[in-house]
Amino acid sequence: MSLQKTRNKSFFCEIRKNWLYYVMFLPAGLYFFIFAYVPMPGIVVAFKNYSYRGGIFGSEWNGLENFRYFYESGKLLLVTWNTLKYNLLFLVTSTILSVAAAILIAEMQGIWFKKTSQTLMFLPHFISWVIVAVFFYNIFNFEYGSLNTFLKTLGIPPVSIYSEPGVWIFILPFLYIWKTIGFSSVLYLSAIMGIDKESYETAMIDGANVFRRIWHITLPMLSSTIITLTLLGISRIMRGQFDMFYQLIGNNSKLMDATDIIDTLVFRSLITTNDFGMASSAGFYQSVLCFAIIVMVNQITKKISKENALF
Amino acid sequence: MKKGIDYIILNVVAYFYIGIIAVLCVLPFILLVSGSIQSEQSVIRHGYSLIPREIKPEAYVFIFRNPQKIIYSYGITVIITVIGTIAGLFISSMTAYVLSRKELKYRNALAFYLFFTTLFNAGLMPFYLLISNYLKLRNTLAILILSGMLNVIYIFIMRTYIMSSIPESICESAKMDAANGFYVFLKIVLPLMKPVIASIGLFTVLNYWNDWFTAMLFISNQRLYPLQYLLYRMLAFASYTQKMLSEGGFVTEMQFPQETMKLAMTVVATGPIILAYPFAQRYLISGMTIGAVKG
């Protein structure tokens, strides 16, 4: 009881002493309260039969009905698999290619070429996926696209990418890397720049060639950055790249099975088809799974190497 | 320093690999511009090509003959970008300053309060219902500005910057002069945060400029369409009309250059960002280097 009292007292002391700091925190505190914390209880809508009239809290409970529907429609397994598949592909290919790019840029001799190519590689980062979709259309559309124009001059029959589900497993990682490689390679490049020059010089004196140096010094020194970024990637593995999938593919039914991810399913159910049971149960599934994965990844990392843990 | 055969091999590989990536990154931009100045007739007959067959900027003529809609959307985008970025940067840096104060007993609790929102979120549907049914922010400039105004990661990057690059002694000596915390932040810390504010500011500007998703969710009033969403609508609508015309079996001579129009619109919408890019690149890279130090 007395402990409680002193605790309360010290709480009020702290507030009185530093009240201005707490007032300064208020705008951000309120912002996240309204836009992040207030929606959280709304997640129970996944266990309700949502109606416009009832709203989130007035609608009737229907237990696990929404989840049963989500599972039985076959969408649960489909979107889980697609989301995992594409995110893993993005993560693996983009890590390998941007680490390679960073190492090669660091070893390059020509300053001008280095600067120019980095500038050009960064260009795609500045544009929205709406614009990327225009680029893509400009190159790949069936009737007038540059690719088919080119193929026709060679006498090869034109290709129709928008009705070919099989090719998207290559196209999407390619475009993802295209848009992000400038950004992610700079992250690795700045880690390389932080490596002590002395260790390189010692290696040179010992007669190690440049490949051995990369293998034995650069890569091990990069491993901590690679691990951190990979862990961040894994913790987001169930969050799809909505912008990309929606802008490039939209509601194209021919590609639906090959490219429908959780995020596009939730959006489509909520906005286009007003299928609230699907939208709420898939959204719940994603939020809870993401949270579980982040916590799990962090616990495991803490056990293996504490300094790489996210929190 | 002598350079052996290993250096030469590595540099050949490097020039080849980086060169290909750089070309692939810039090629679509060139195709876009060259496509947008082709004549509609040559596009329909032969398709787009890298080097235009027949240069005729009819699409631009068409856009600038009737530019009210585009100018209006530009205005909307500029307004939300400017207001959102300034307000976002001010609040973020103030919050970061508070979180960096060691004398603040509950600073870790406050940091966790922010951090938790990155671990768990309610998903799209509760958020959507809150904004449109409870807060009634549909079709307002406010939602375009508020959505994405603050980002927890940016706040933490700023906090890391304050703690690592702004000496505590400066703030303490100001406090001796009986200046309060807000005054110290405004007059001393904020000016010293310029490099990190420039980088985060750039990221925020890009987020606002490229945002179409908020508008798609919450804006149905055409007078509030931001630029990217207008572009999206025009593209989607054009292909829709095209589909309708071909499926209905009508042979219609479209007066308006439907194909090149898409590209010309894209050039008009992307132009400023691309022109600003060489100046901004410096801050982007320095900002990411700051962020790479785990916040």
Contact A38 B130 (CB under 8 A): yes
Residue B37 confidence (pLDDT) above 90: no
Residues on chain B touching A112 (C-beta within 8 angstroms): none
- CATH superfamily for B67-252 is MetI-like (1.10.3720.10)
Query: What pTM, to 2 d.p., does this model score?
Result: 0.89
**B94 inside 8 A of chain A by CB:** yes
B81-109 residue pLDDT tens? 999 999 999 999 999 999 999 888 899 99
Quick one: pLDDT band at residue B152, thresholds 50, 70, 90? very high
Tell me what the pLDDT averaged over chain B comes to: 84
Give the pLDDT of residue B58. 79
Residue B252 confidence (pLDDT) above 60: no
Residues 157-176 of A with CB under 8 A from B: none
Nearest CA in chain A to B16: A104
A64 to each of A267, A268, A288, B93, how far by Cα in Å? 21, 21, 15, 44
Residue B80 confidence (pLDDT) above 80: yes
Residues on chain B touching A42 (C-beta within 8 angstroms): 122, 125-127, 129-130
Give the pLDDT of residue A77. 93
Give the pLDDT of residue A22. 93
Sorted by sequence, the CB contacts under 8 Å of residue B245 that are 6+ apart come out as B252, B254
Q: Which amino acid is at B200?
A: I
What is the share, in percent, of chain B residues with pLDDT greater than 90? 41
Residue B62 confidence (pLDDT) above 80: no
Over residues B147-164, the mean pLDDT reads 92
CA dist., res. A71 & res. A75, Å (int):
6
Question: Which residue(s) pair with B38 in the sheet?
Answer: B55
Give the pLDDT of residue A28. 97
Quick one: pLDDT band at residue B262, thresholds 50, 70, 90? confident
Nearest to B59 by CA among B224, B244, B238: B238
CA distance A99 to chain B (A): 12
- HSE at residue A89, side-chain half, CA atoms within 13 A, is 18
Over residues B65-74, the mean pLDDT reads 83
Nearest to B63 by CA among B277, B196, B246, B256: B256
Cα angle B275-B281-B286, degrees, rounded to a multiple of 5: 160
CA dist., res. B138 & res. B122, Å (int):
19
Residues 282-301 of A with CB under 8 A from B: 283-284, 286-287, 290-291, 294-295
Give the pLDDT of residue B289. 64
Contact A228 B281 (CB under 8 A): no
Tokens representing A96 are: 């390998």
Give the pLDDT of residue B242. 47
Give the pLDDT of residue B2. 55
Contact B124 A209 (CB under 8 A): no
Q: Where are the domains of chain B?
A: 67-252
Give the pLDDT of residue B251. 41
Lowest mean pLDDT among B14-23, B183-192, B252-261: B252-261
**B293 inside 8 A of chain A by CB:** no
Low-confidence ranges of chain A (pLDDT < 70): 1-7
Residues 101-160 of B with CB under 8 A from A: 101, 103-106, 110, 113-115, 117, 119-130, 133, 135, 146-147, 149-150, 152, 155
**A102 inside 8 A of chain B by CB:** no
Contact A104 B288 (CB under 8 A): no
**A25 inside 8 A of chain B by CB:** yes
CA distance A264 to chain B (A): 11
Q: Which amino acid is at A63?
A: G
Judge contact between B287 and B205, C-beta under 8 A. Answer: no
Residue B163 confidence (pLDDT) above 60: yes
Lowest mean pLDDT among B108-112, B126-130, B263-267: B263-267
Give the pLDDT of residue B244. 44
Give the pLDDT of residue A4. 65
Give the pLDDT of residue A203. 83
